[in-house]
Each structure stands twice: as structure tokens, then as C-alpha cells.
Amino acid sequence: MTIPSATLDLLSQQAIELPSWAFGNSGTRFKVFGQAGVPRDPFEKISDAAQVHKHTGLAPSVALHIPWDKVPSYSDLRRHAEDNGVKLGTVNSNTFQDDDYKLGSVTHSDPRIRQKAIDHHLECIDIMNETGSRDLKIWLADGTNYPGQDDMRSRQDRLHDSLSAIYERLGEHQRLVLEYKFFEPAFYHTDVPDWGTSYAQVSALGDKAVVCLDTGHHAPGTNIEFIVMQLLRLGKLGSFDFNSRFYADDDLIVGAADPFQLFRIILEVVRGGGYANPDVAFMLDQCHNIEKKVPGQIRSVLNVQEMTARALLVDRDALGAAQASGDVLAANGIVMDAFYTDVRGDLADWRESRGLPADPMSAYAASGYQQRIEQERVGGTQAGWGA
């Protein structure tokens, strides 16, 4: 076994939250592809997510998106999750699918619209109280398309005021997690475009406000692991939305486009004390438009586990010594040795030793679950995207 037992102990602490919206029909602005067997309601989304955890042991919680996952009784949904061996996690707000928000939501110049957006977040906090969720995740579509369209400075001030009203309502153990994204759907300016803006806004709120880093939300070539390092150093990295991108907000399977980038990111998480640390939540934010959804999520969490194992293999003492002596090639070699280590066989053996399938992808395929949902479920719902 290449992986030391201390590393396996660390790996057993890994928890990756799944997005409920990964299981519904999704697509692009060109086409939403319907798939057989997709969930018809939030309960079925949770059942599907539970399959990922059952086969991998890696995904013990599911994030909700309101209003996509609105149900008459959240305690029923919570019970359903627990009966299926998972928990309800982060609650994501949605201020991007309402005509009122065409020119902005919490940054809008009209106090009525701002209040509507604030009230939506307060409703999300009420839901969190019922689901037992800790995190309210806010991604805003707010921004402008044309220079002069609105006053960027006033929008920052209104953003602060609105977030303050939301923050005030948080319970003692709840958090406001502010996600940034450099463009889209606004193209000239975005009100929370980068980690610096998110950091400035959450710092002004207080200790219970932190930043969410979505790996797909940066300009090409951005050194994302540097941002990870800096946010951890500042104590403000609250969570990750993992996914892969080739061009834009692609939301493809994490580790698919650039496994080395994922490795480098996790390396900085480990270095900064953010691994197996409840204050830094690992989540997926993905859609499976052309591939099947449950196995798409299984592949995703396995990719994260694999790169985590490799990152944990870096010989930190040797690396520190090489860095201190200015041995550039030795230092780089230590990192690359870990990255090039094939851990898949070890992980399969280790999974089996813990009562999990050695190969979760084929175990899921053989389980009959996919065939069953494809037969039983008629008229599945859309994830909410790409309509």
C-alpha cells in the first residue's frame, strides 16, 4: 500500500456535499435535455443523492436550492434524508429567476425590490432552522451590462446594507456564505465579481460571514490555489463549490478538465489547515447535462477523493527542507511525485476494507437503481437551469 495509514485516517474524514440540482434535468441556454428517471420532487433528489453516499461513503449531505426545493414540510424532508442515511446541508437562495430582479436584487435601486430580495433570504433562514442547516449560500446575478447603467459604488453600499439585514437574522451557529463570480449573467460589471469583493463584504459583516470559492468562477489562467491560500490565511474561506470549466461557468465534473489544478487547490487546503475542518465545506456545484446524473456525481466525489489522497501524500518535511535550501527542482519534484502517484488501486482496497464497493461506478451500475428509477419515474423535473 502506497498510502500510509495516517493518510487513510484523514481520508475517512472527507465529506463532500452534493447539490440537489445535480439530479434534475439541466442543460444550457440552447437546450435542456430530458433524461429518464430524473426526480419528480425534492424527496426523490435526496433519494438519488443518498445513492452516491451509499456507494462511496463520501457524500453525507445534500444542499438545497430555494425555491427549487420548496416543500410543504421541511421536517418531512429532513426525516426522509435521515432515513436514507444523509443530512440536509447548505441552503442556496435564488434571486435570479424573477422579473423583478432584472436590474438587480439586493443591490437594486428600488427599496421595494431590495426588501423583496432580503425577505427571500430571511425565508431561507427560516427553512434552515427547520432543516438544521448551518450555511446560507448567496450567489447574486446582480450587475450591469452597460457603462453608466447604474452607479457601481451605490450598488456596493446597498449590497452591504442588504447583507447586513440578512446577517442580523442568522442564528448563533449559522453562517452567511457569499459566492463570487467574475461575469454572467451581467457582462459589464458584476456586483460580487471576485474574492476581494466577497472578502470585503463578508469582513464588514462579522465572524459568521465567509467566502465561497466556486472553482468555475474565475478568468482563464487564474491561480486559484493562491486565492485558497489567501482566504485560509485570512480565516475567511467558508466553502468550495467544486466543478470543472473549460471556458466559462461550465459546471462539468470536478477534476475532469484539469486534475492537476484540483490537486494544487487541495494541496493549499491541506497546507492552510482547511482539510477535514468543518469550517471549510467541500461542496459540488455541477450539472450533468449529457451524462447520467447519479453516476456523474459518484465519479465527481471519487475525483475529489483521489486528488485529496495525492495531495496528502506530499512529503511536507522534505518539501519544507527543499524550499528552505532554495532547491527549486527538488521542491517541485516532491510535489510532482505526489501528483503522479496512482492511488486508485489503494483506494479501491481501502474502500473494500470499510465495507464499501471497491469500484463504486460498477457497483452502482449493477445495483439496478438506475433501471428502477427509469421505469418508475415519469415526468421528472428540471434542475431549474437553462429553461
Give residue for cell 491541506: 270
Q: How far is CA 361 from CA 51, 294, 302, 366, in A?
A: 11, 10, 9, 9
Establish if 135 lies at the interface with Mn ion (CB under 5 A). no
Cβ 187 vs Cβ 145: under 8 Å: yes
Long-range contacts of residues 339-343, Cβ cutoff 8 Å, at least 24 apart: 339/260, 339/263, 339/310, 341/2, 341/310, 341/313, 343/2, 343/3, 343/306, 343/309, 343/310, 343/313
Of residues 134 and 351, the one with the C-beta less far from ligand PSV? 134
Establish if 48 lies at the interface with Mn ion (CB under 5 A). no
Of residues 7 and 244, the one with the C-beta less far from ligand PSV? 244
Cβ 65 to ligand PSV shortest distance, Å: 6
Q: Which segment (103-111, 211-219, 274-282, 373-381) binds Mn ion by CB under 5 A? A: 211-219
Cβ 137 to ligand PSV shortest distance, Å: 7
Of residues 319 and 383, the one with the C-beta less far from ligand PSV? 383
Of residues 135 and 241, the one with the C-beta less far from Mn ion? 241
**CB atoms closer than 10 angstroms to residue 127:** 21
Q: Which does 92 bind (CB under 5 to 8 A by kind): ligand PSV, Mn ion, none?
A: ligand PSV
Establish if 285 lies at the interface with Mn ion (CB under 5 A). yes
Beta strands, E only, 208-300: 209-214, 237-242, 281-284
Of residues 134 and 245, the one with the C-beta less far from Mn ion? 245
Cβ 64 to ligand PSV shortest distance, Å: 11
Of residues 20 and 370, the one with the C-beta less far from Mn ion? 20
Q: 166 to 195, contacts with Mn ion by CB under 5 A?
A: none
- Closest by CA to 306, choosing from 370, 373, 254, is 254
The residue number with the shortest CB distance to ligand PSV is 139
- Contact partners, residue 386, CB within 8 Å, separation at least 6: 26, 27, 28, 29, 31, 32, 289
- Closest by CA to 19, choosing from 262, 181, 214, 310, is 214
Q: Which segment (128-136, 253-261, 284-292, 377-385) binds Mn ion by CB under 5 A? A: 284-292
Number of residues that bind Mn ion (CB under 5 A): 4
- Site map (CB under 5 A) of Mn ion, residues 237-276, x = contact: ----x-------x---------------------------
Question: What cell was used for 36?
Answer: 429518464
Measured distance CA(170)–CA(256) in Å, rounded: 36
Binding positions for ligand PSV, rule: CB under 6 A: 92, 139, 179, 181, 214, 241, 249, 285
Measured distance CA(230)–CA(228) in Å, rounded: 6
| The one among 214, 225, 268, 306 contacting Mn ion by CB under 5 A | 214
Give residue for cell 451557529: 173
- Closest by CA to 383, choosing from 18, 97, 139, 20, is 20
Of residues 67 and 333, the one with the C-beta less far from Mn ion? 67
- Binding residues vs Mn ion (CB under 5 A): 214, 241, 249, 285
